[in-house]
Structure 1
């Protein structure tokens, strides 16, 4: 890991890589179906073009584990609205923020589709830069959000999709979030993490007592070098004032007869093959980390409703 990617130390003097090793671990079998099957009939076709979509089963599992029907779920970087869609289908309400106009429209279309399918919850997507837009949500949502479920952008590491034709051969499509350079996805990793820390800090006043923040993140390779992005993400969360309580391993591979069934894309396999040809002992990534955090007790709590039975239950599940 190069110096610019070295994890900073938390307020407790530990790096994210050290903290990850100390957290209790749970494995989620979230890829028993391929992502395309998970989205079939539930998301509009334009959703396919987003280069880094959250797997719906990961969102479903997190929502089922840490919330109850009627709770409010939020996502400050909601993309095509996976968190929001899965929340409203599960009888929760949801609010999200998205930077790119294109994905705001797709997220809203997905929420409209969920409503037409009979989803009992209500969802809302707001266009804006989450570093500023979250503050505007405070008047309505302060102290009400049971779960913030989100994922930082992976910068230039997204693989997109593969297509081929006789004229151009095999090439990438749908491999960028958008072309606005203000999007954090276009920033170098230190600036991206600084912005993500700011966003997480802004979500804290929205959390209700016992509220949970769940962040999906995974390691990736940049110029052949493995970046321990989960540790860097955890550092950002701790710097924002959140306290880690659990690490969940959300599988990106299926399980059949006790063995993992790979779900790797063409570009992932091709990239790993080229690294191995160069003598780099690389493996495809078969999971995402889901970091579970709560507001640090040292952070001033925003006044909100008293803890309900469902909140207490979610808090106990989070502590296991």
Structure 2
């Protein structure tokens, strides 16, 4: 792995399930109600890059902070097994509907959802401790008890409603510790973050997460810039949605323009290979 790399990870069709043959009619309710922000947290193309780079065929992939079916679908299509942690029932039901509309029955057998929080991952995967090849997580970019003051439970996006109680600073530390327990030696933890503006300051959560992970024994492996928008020649193609268009201002205005998310930062951290004589989680004493 090189220290820094760029991946093209735009998902122009990520909001629509893959069409199924006529013999498998599309189920009601399979249309997307996940907001753009959550569809982008771990998109289909980013998941494919991570899974194909960090795992082999038949490997086990686990996703915490799950907001869509993207990682599960990518894993199934690449012949990996995958488990998503989805403690919020309305979101789990939505993802299940999308999975059934996207994957055939054979591929559906490769994916599971378990009703545990990210910080409870080791408990939810007690039968797979030390066997996971890749843990993926895109923690919400705010940490006030998991509450984002700009969004409320009235939103139609099930991932937004799940976010309201999903993350606190303590839970993030427990998630990292749980990732250490479930990963096999040589396994990879992939954390996706996005810097945010708060009170006029740019806050990047990645350095603190890296320090926490290194304190547990993880080794920093690579920083990836995942471009979420297509490229046309040498230009980024940024497509504004209705909410963005509503915020357009006169070019002569001195007010800062609305922020546009064009990339995510992905940090890869590895669990060191097992040294001779080391005990592994679950070894007989």
TM-score normalized by the length of structure 2: 0.76
User: SS of the counterpart of 1:48?
Assistant: coil
Does 2:188 correspond to 1:212? yes
Q: Who is 2:78 aligned against?
A: 90
Q: For 1:234-282, what per-residue CA distance to the aligned partner results, in whole angstroms no more than 9, with x for missing partners?
A: 34433444221100110022111122111454445666859x9455488
Q: Who is 2:22 aligned against?
A: none
The CA deviation at 1:72 is 0.6
From 128, 138, 144, the equivalent of 2:131 is 144
- Equivalent residues in 2 for 1:104-253, closer than 5 Å: 104-116=92-104, 119=107, 122-132=110-120, 134-155=121-142, 156=148, 174=157, 177-178=160-161, 182-184=165-167, 192-253=168-229
TM-score normalized by the length of structure 1: 0.68
From 26, 39, 44, the equivalent of 2:5 is 26
Instruction: Give the whole-Å Cα distance in 1 for the aligned partners of 2:206 and 2:248.
Output: 20
Instruction: Give the whole-Å Cα distance in 1 for the aligned partners of 2:162 and 2:15.
Output: 26
Q: CA RMSD in A?
A: 3.6
- CA shift in 2, pair 1:303/1:183, >3 Å: closer
Does 2:33 correspond to 1:48? yes
The CA deviation at 1:114 is 4.1
Does 2:41 correspond to 1:58? no
Does 2:285 correspond to 1:302? no
Deviates more, 1:258-267 or 1:203-212: 258-267
Instruction: Give the whole-Å Cα distance in 2 for the aligned partners of 1:114 and 1:301.
Output: 41
From 57, 75, 80, the equivalent of 1:69 is 57
Residue pair 2:67, 2:159 contacting (<8 A) in 1 also = no
Could you list the structure 1 runs, at least 4 aligned residues long, displaced by more than 4 angstroms after superposition: 157-160, 268-274, 276-283, 296-301
Structure 1: tracts of 5 or more residues without a match: 1-22, 161-171, 185-191, 306-320
Residue pair 1:142, 1:206 contacting (<8 A) in 2 also = yes
More helix by share: 1
Residue pair 1:107, 1:125 contacting (<8 A) in 2 also = no
User: SS of the counterpart of 2:161?
Assistant: coil
The CA deviation at 1:178 is 1.4
Residue pair 2:87, 2:115 contacting (<8 A) in 1 also = yes
Deviates more, 1:84-93 or 1:224-233: 224-233
The CA deviation at 1:144 is 1.2
